[in-house]
Amino acid sequence: MSEVQAREVHRANLRRLMLGDPAAADDLAVHLQVENLDRARFRSGTIPSSDALLRALPRIQARLAAIFGGRDAFVGPYLDERRRVLARVQPGLDVRVIEGAGHWVNYEAPAAVDRALAEMLAAPPGR
């Protein structure tokens, strides 16, 4: 397929999987997606459906926190489950949901993510 066609496939995938607002699939988002895929050192393939994260979480000794987009195609339908899993590993975990944003929450809502991160980092452990 041509480069133009490939970019449109990436744009469609961004709209379907990564972004909460289809209008956010602008030229910069497409460029970033192409670059991300070109620079990836591994194929994520089965990672989202595997238990790799569940097995790794108990070994993490740092304080955990999570920021999800409210329209995240991967997390949205399972948000309550994600909260429960993370809370089992670290009770009192700070989980934030940025409404309207998708999986690329930091791309779509950078100011809201920055505020949430600043609050999370400033909070005492165990909050």
Per residue in 49-102, pLDDT (tens digit) is: 778 888 888 898 888 899 999 999 988 888 999 899 888 888 888 999 999 999
Query: pLDDT band at 127, cuts 50/70/90?
Result: low
Whether residue 64 sits in one domain with residue 35: no
3-state secondary structure the chain: CCHHHHHHHHHHHHHHHHCCCHHHCCHHHHHHHHHHHHHCCCCCCCHHHCCHHHHHHHHCCCCCEEEEECCCCCCHHHHHHHHHHHHHHCCCCEEEEECCCCCCHHHHCHHHHHHHHHHHHHCCCCC
**48, 74 contact by CB (below 8 A):** yes
Whether residue 70 sits in one domain with residue 109: yes
Whether residue 113 sits in one domain with residue 67: yes
Taking the alpha carbons at both ends of the chain, their separation in whole angstroms is: 51
Whether residue 86 sits in one domain with residue 65: yes
Give pLDDT, residue 48. Answer: 66
Whether residue 58 sits in one domain with residue 101: yes
Whether residue 120 sits in one domain with residue 63: yes
Whether residue 75 sits in one domain with residue 22: no
Whether residue 36 sits in one domain with residue 85: no
Q: What is the domain range of residue 97? A: 49-127
Give pLDDT, residue 126. Answer: 60
Whether residue 10 sits in one domain with residue 59: no
The mean predicted confidence, pLDDT, of the chain is: 89
Q: How many domains does the chain have?
A: 2
Percent of the chain with pLDDT over 90: 57
Whether residue 28 sits in one domain with residue 87: no
Domain endpoint, select from 41, 57, 72: 41
